[in-house]
């Protein structure tokens, strides 16, 4: 299912800027896939090569044009330091996701990105926004809480072929 409106190419507020991923962002994908806790807690594959990272960006841009999902470079001081995004989920609230380079964690960029995406979705008529965290990912859970999300339950899921427990968060 597609979002009912075109997705923005940029979003910004006083704390953070988001820019739709571009071809040059393959390096960001490549670098994030090499941070040990990124594949451990997210759906990023570990150790992407350049070709895979470039294909991933191309797919991201296609999904953005089709209004299926928006992935953005998180910018601090004009430099990409992570990614954040949103996806339309059939029969459910849109879901948000985010990941940052370890060097910039703890500076509010993840929380700011989640708030910014939530506010845009709210301005487009969505009454609720969701995100999921893997049980035990306390850093991501703190981001959800600071961004105004409340945990609504948990359910079994899979992560890189392994069974995990997922916590569902909602912001209304």
Pairwise CA distance, residues 68 & 56, whole Å: 15
The strand pair at 129-134 and 95-100 is best described as parallel
pLDDT of residue 15: 85
pLDDT of residue 148: 96
Mean pLDDT in order along the chain per 10 residues (172 residues): 91 94 97 95 93 97 96 94 94 94 94 96 95 95 96 94 95 94
Contact (CB, 8 A) for 88 and 67: yes
Domain containing residue 96: 10-171
Residue 2 domain-assigned (yes or no) = no
Residue 4 domain-assigned (yes or no) = no
pTM assigned to the model: 0.94
Pairwise CA distance, residues 97 & 166, whole Å: 13
pLDDT of residue 90: 82
Can you read off the two tokens belonging to residue 79? 């430099």
Pairwise CA distance, residues 112 & 51, whole Å: 31
Q: What is the CATH number of the domain that holds 148?
A: 3.40.630.30
| pLDDT tens by residue, 126-147 | 999 999 999 999 999 999 999 9
pLDDT of residue 120: 96
Residue 165 domain-assigned (yes or no) = yes
Long-range CB contact pairs, 101-107, < 8 A, 24+: 101/31, 101/32, 101/35, 102/35, 102/37, 104/76, 105/139, 107/76
pLDDT of residue 99: 96
Residue 1 domain-assigned (yes or no) = no
Total domain count for the chain? 1
Residue 167 domain-assigned (yes or no) = yes
Residue 107 domain-assigned (yes or no) = yes
pLDDT of residue 21: 98
Residue 114 domain-assigned (yes or no) = yes
Biggest alpha carbon distance in the chain? 39
Residue 124 domain-assigned (yes or no) = yes
């Amino acid at each position: 299912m597609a979002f009912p409106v075109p997705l923005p190419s940029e979003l910004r507020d006083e704390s953070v800027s988001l820019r739709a991923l571009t071809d040059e962002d393959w390096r960001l994908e490549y670098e994030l896939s090499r941070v040990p806790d990124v594949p451990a807690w997210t759906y990023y594959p570990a150790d992407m090569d350049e070709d895979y990272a470039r294909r991933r960006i191309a797919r991201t841009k296609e999904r953005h044009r089709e209004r299926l999902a928006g992935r953005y470079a998180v910018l601090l001081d004009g430099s990409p330091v992570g990614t954040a995004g949103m996806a339309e989920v059939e029969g459910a609230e849109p879901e948000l996701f985010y990941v940052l380079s370890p060097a910039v964690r703890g500076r509010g960029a993840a929380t700011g990105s989640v708030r910014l995406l939530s506010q845009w979705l709210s301005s487009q008529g969505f009454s609720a926004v969701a995100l999921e965290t893997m049980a035990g990912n306390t850093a991501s859970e703190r981001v959800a809480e600071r961004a105004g999300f409340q945990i609504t339950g948990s359910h079994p899921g899979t992560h890189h072929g392994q069974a995990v427990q997922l916590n569902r968060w909602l912001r209304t």
